[in-house]
A and B are shown apart, each in its own frame.
Chain A
Amino acid sequence: MRYAWTICLKDLRQRLRDRTALMLAVVVPLVLTTLMGLALGRSESFRMRLAIADLDGSELSQAFLAFVERPSLQGIVYVNRVDSLAAAEAAVTDGNAEGAVVLQAGFAKAARASRTVPVEILAAGDHPFSARMTEALVRDFLSRATATATTESARAIPSVLPLSPGGRLRTVDFFAASMAVLFLTFTVLSGVRALQSEIDSGTIVRLMATPAEPVIILAGKFAALVIVGLVQMAVMIVATSLLFGTSWGNPLPVVVLVGTSVLMAIGLTAFFMSLAENAEQGQGLASIVIFLLAVVGGQFLPPQGLPDVFETLNRLTPNGQAFRGFTDLAAAAGTGSVRTILEPLLVTGGVGLSGIAFAAVKARKALQRAL
């Protein structure tokens, strides 16, 4: 492992010497987080009072109440149980609740039969985000309930909106997670580009002539990429916590997600780099794709007022999944676990490993051509 460590240290020294990469890794994301937080920070905090009328009285409607009152939403959603549609309407119009959900009789039957469910969602006109969140909660619950009817009961519940603990949705927190994920990919890209440059310049071939075995050389290179990614994420997490008071949630799952996100960033950038003819072209291609993925993954705009399609697109992109995972953990505060972010973990880890495997095969062919 001495050879791997030597290679890793050399690569880290090169990364540290690259002032542009350092700016991209730390300074730019922090500045952007601050600027975007200030520019788009109109809705600085969020706390929703929700009136719920259970007119169905079924097990499913009780489950909905439990779902809304679950620990991760405590401090964000305050439930006020009412007994009629009129009472729900009154709660909203009198300003005692920002939103209301009325589960009409037949709610459970309709849900199980996959018919349109009789649910009324009421929201205060001056709280469009509350309306959106209420609707999202209901949709979320129904998709889970439908799934549990046919599959397993332990399915993870995907949260819909990035809510920071304590019931406050702060734009700066949103951008802290978003910029961390976005610039993690760019930071790792500069490392992957350096690896491609080694193939282009022939230094990798010279390395292969040393006593180090190829797998050890790759291990050294990979370790450097991982360390760069981990350090970048750690700096972002610590800096946003200190500067903006952002809480990222339960440390253990955050660390696990940071790990798979770094893997995702390496796999994603290595995949696109391997499709190119050389390092320059690869960096250009990967940069464009990363930027597009960030747009599609919803990393540039906070969710308020965006169409639902962004929710779907967000889940289809690996960076969006990483971002979703971090915001879910933040929303769940100290109660978040690996289970909370199972989907983001699987997607980011899977994309990472697949991308690395693909790039390794392509790199092997490129080396054979170089010889």
Chain B
Amino acid sequence: MLSVRGLQKRFGARVAVDGVSFAIKPGEVYGLLGPNGAGKTTSISMIAGILARDAGEVEIDGLDIDAGPPARAQIGIVPQAITLYLDLTARENLHFWGRMYDRRGDGLRRAVEEALQAVGLTKRADDVVSTYSGGMQRRLNLACGILHQPKLLILDEPTVGVDPQSRSAIFELVERLRDEGTAILYTTHYMEEAERLCSRIGIIDAGKLITEGTRSELVADLGRAVRIEIGLEHDEGLERAVSVVTGLEGVHSAAVVAERLHVFADEGAHRLPPLLTALLNTGLVVANVKVVEPSLEDVFLRLTGRMLRD
């Protein structure tokens, strides 16, 4: 459904996207993971035909994105920001976006009602959007993107700042659309979202797609590596601890996360004694230690040396 090959974009001397390639099949949710500024939104903008690319090709359902309106009509986009008209009602917003995708008459009215129902806003459909909670606005933001039943749905961090109820509603809707055959490109920096929703995941950092695969494939690439979380008696020693453990045999990367030292190392249990010894030798007092099975977060940590939410 979507084929992206060698996507490239520069802003002056800075390379924002550097040779990104991937594909999404119908009924597949592809997660594009990366920290802020990694190039996710720039990639999405080029895929959606909003931003001119410097190089590369984008095809949607066999149509080159440069074909313009016919290609863009196949895409539904849900931007990260709330892109709604707050002084209009939900129904008016949906009617407007539906018309912008050539929906008219009874078909449009039916699609609006279905979209309202899908995001649980039927009862508030005639209230102006400015009276909605943040979560409700997020759901409407999503509804405006799916109204015209696009073949490719692009969701750019759709759950930022939403309440658990709205988050759950968004997840359910994404899963339903996937089951109905929609190809979905889902960007996020929440690992748990990617693990739940995405059948394949691409990790992007500094404009490059550094790896991709299913969650199992990505975690399997870590081999027998584990994450070791270490709490210190005194937090001020954490940065020093990072430099102490970095470079020890078997240690891939280390970072401070939520006032704990996260060390990614091969054969974790065996690496513990030298790790703790090194810390103790430099006067750092260890308060507690936890060995954790690897996750996507660890994949990212290992590949980039940073946490996803840095």
Contact = CB atoms under 8 A, between A and B. Distances in A.
Given A13-B92, A17-B87, A213-B68, A208 B81 contact: no
A10 B51 CA distance: 25
A2 B81 CA distance: 26
A166 B186 CA distance: 72
A201 B82 contact: yes
Interface stretch (B32-40, B95-103, B278-286): B95-103
Contacts of B142: none
A361 interface: no
The 4 closest A-B pairs by CB, nearest first: A211-B69, A202-B81, A206-B83, A210-B100
Interface in A86-126: none
A210 B101 contact: yes
B145 to A, nearest CB: 8
Interface string B59-94: 000000000111011010101011111011000100
B83 A371 contact: no
Nearest to A11: B85
Contacts of B88: 10, 13-14, 17
B85 A211 contact: no
A18 to B, nearest CB: 7
B50 interface: yes
Given A10-B96, A201-B82, 5 more contacts: A202-B83, A209-B75, A210-B72, A211-B70, A211-B101
B45 A211 contact: no
A371 B70 contact: no
A212 interface: yes
Q: Chain B interface: which size bin?
A: 20 to 34
A3 B72 CA distance: 14
Given A201-B82, A209-B75, A213-B69, A6 B99 contact: yes
A207 interface: yes
B204 interface: no
A211 B50 contact: no
Contacts of A18: 87
13 contacts: A7-B100, A10-B85, A10-B88, A13-B88, A17-B87, A201-B83, A202-B79, A203-B83, A209-B50, A209-B72, A209-B75, A209-B77, A211-B100
Given A201-B82, A202-B83, A207 B45 contact: no
Interface string A1-33: 011001100100110011000000000000000
Contact of A205 (B73, B75, B83, B99): B83
A206 B87 contact: no
Interface of A: 2-3, 6-7, 10, 13-14, 17-18, 201-203, 205-213, 368, 371
B42 interface: yes
Contacts, number: 66
Contacts of A2: 99, 102
A39 B102 CA distance: 55
A371 B42 contact: yes
Contacts of A213: 68-69
B49 interface: yes
Nearest to B16: A371
Interface in B182-205: none
A212 B72 CA distance: 9
Nearest to B76: A209
B87 A207 contact: no
Given A211-B101, A212-B100, A205 B72 contact: no
Interface string B100-121: 1110000000000000000000
Nearest to A15: B87
A110 B174 CA distance: 88
Contact of A371 (B50, B69, B99, B101): B50
A212 B82 contact: no
Contacts of B82: 201
B147 to A, nearest CB: 11
B255 interface: no
Given A209-B75, A210-B72, A213-B68, A6 B81 contact: no
A100 B84 CA distance: 67
Q: Which of A18, A211, A212 has the most chain B CB atoms inside 10 A of its CB?
A: A211
Contacts of A203: 83-85
Contacts of B51: 368, 371
Contacts of B85: 10, 14, 203
Contacts of A208: 50
B87 A209 contact: no
B50 A201 contact: no
A211 B148 CA distance: 12
B48 interface: yes
Q: Which of A2, A14, A209 has the most chain B CB atoms inside 10 A of its CB?
A: A209
A10 B79 CA distance: 20
A371 B100 contact: no
Contacts of A205: 45, 50, 79, 83
Nearest to B145: A206
B140 to A, nearest CB: 13
A205 B79 CA distance: 9
A208 B88 CA distance: 20
B60 to A, nearest CB: 12
B77 A211 contact: no
Nearest to B71: A211
A14 B87 contact: yes
A369 to B, nearest CB: 9
Given A211-B72, A371-B51, A206 B45 contact: no
A13 B100 CA distance: 16
B134 to A, nearest CB: 14
Contacts of B77: 206, 209
A131 to B, nearest CB: 54
Nearest to A210: B100
Contacts of B99: 2, 6
